[in-house]
Amino acid sequence: MTGERIKKLRKEKGLTQEQLGKLLGVKKSAIAKYENNRVENLKKETIQKLSDIFNVPASYFLGIEENQPIIANSITIPLYNDISCGTGIFVDDNIDEYISLPESLLSLNK
């Protein structure tokens, strides 16, 4: 899904993979990997740069549906299918989806 969105926006803007790569500071082959969904989790910095280049919200690249309401003052958090506690295994590769929650629900100052 993310790859298709990147490719669609790149073509709409009339950029080649090489040109987009230069804007992002990566090689053409990295853009090809992004567009073919061979990179599952893009770095936050890459998502932010894509957001700036294409003038779309970062949530667009995180798989949040376009018809999903945008919550003001929200935080986007990952949802995991399975995690392992106490084994030192990173769960970054097991993200199922992202959701937005109001900051007020996540505040520790209450």
Q: What is the DSSP string of 38-82?
A: --SS--HHHHHHHHHHHT--GGGGGT--TTSPPPTTEEEEEEES-
Whether the pLDDT of residue 84 is over 80: the answer is: no
Pick the CATH number of 2-62 from 1.10.760.10, 3.40.50.2300, 1.10.260.40, 3.40.50.720: 1.10.260.40
Whether the pLDDT of residue 110 is over 50: the answer is: no
**Which positions ≥6 away from 38 have C-beta within 8 Å?**
none
Taking only the tens place, the pLDDT of each residue in 24-72 is 999 999 999 999 989 878 888 898 899 889 888 888 887 665 555 555 6
Q: For the chain, how many residues are written?
A: 110
Alpha-carbon distance 82 to 59, whole Å?
Answer: 23
